[in-house]
Amino acid sequence: MNIAILTSGGDSAGMNPAIKRFIEYSFELGLTPYLVYNGLEGLIDNEIKKATSKDASGIINRGGTVLKSSRSKRFFEKKYRKKAYENLKKLKIEKLVVVGGDGSFRALNAFYNDFKMPFVGIPGTIDNDIHGSEYSLGTDTALNIIRSAIDDVRDTASSFRRGFVIETMGRDCGYLALVSALTSGAEICLIPELKADMKSIKKRLKKEFAEDREYLIAIVAEGTHEALNLTKWIEKEFGVESRLTTLGHIQRGGTPSTFDRLMAYEFVTYGIDALLKGESGKIVVYRNAKVDLRSVAYVTKGKHKLQPELLKQAKKLMS
């Protein structure tokens, strides 16, 4: 049986460990693995080649994806999805594994509806915004990068008695910002999911500055679009010189953490096993400390929500 893998959408640490596991596990099972380069665009343009053991060598420690990636507008047109399907059929590829995020899964949902091509999706996005899953590949590595940056910024904040606002990625999901704020001892956190009570924040911090607080750290999710405004607000309300640090794409790179490598192993193993058992059109998810499957329709039609426990903790930093 021929089986292929591709990575799509934004890159994330954990994609390369997933590719490695896909190749090696396919060989273990007697399958013939194929690699699709440049994501969904590569599927359309027939950038597909048979994998060798060498393709799995020396990639587990690398961030990003050796298969490259893309965001394909063409794939949302049926004529290009048909072309992609024909490319797979010519190579007699019967199963497909896709590592990506919400946009990639929506594209695959349309592909599945058109041609019933058996596939499983593996969550791979630092935003951690896949509906039905509490974790996506790359999230843990991104959190470690953010934590390290905050620790470094704190040194300067304390040395100069400044306020620092650090903007994290995450699109419309505040997971990275919230978890980073909770685990770095930040004084303020702004996320799209909850409205901040700025009057209460001001009252709380005014009291702390009166009791010899010398600096503060604020973490802001990019989806709030409030990082610059908060920087100016801190300077105005508390009279401390303030700086904005936008971490940007460094959060998507870096050597995959141990946890991301382990989850890549588990996700891919579970996904391939599911395909061989006849499952299709499913996304591998992680819930309640267990790996499971959800239909692609369920994942793409629902809206991701932060865990209630995290939102409860968030209120302490937003009031």
CB 166 within 8 A of CB 153: yes
d(CA 219, CA 126): 17
Going by C-alpha positions, the residue among 64, 59, 66 that lies closest to residue 17 is 59
Cα–Cα distance measured from residue 124 to residue 46, given in angstroms and rounded to the nearest whole number: 23
Are 69 and 253 in contact by the 8 Å Cβ rule? The answer is no
Question: Are 166 and 242 spatial neighbours (Cβ–Cβ below 8 Å)?
Answer: no
Phi, then psi, of 70 in degrees rounded to 5: -165, 160
With contact defined as beta carbons under 8 Å apart, do 213 and 243 qualify?
no
Q: Around Cβ 223, how many Cβ atoms within 10 Å? A: 20
Active site residues: 127
DSSP string, 94-124: EEEEEEE-HHHHHHHHHHHHHH---EEEEEB
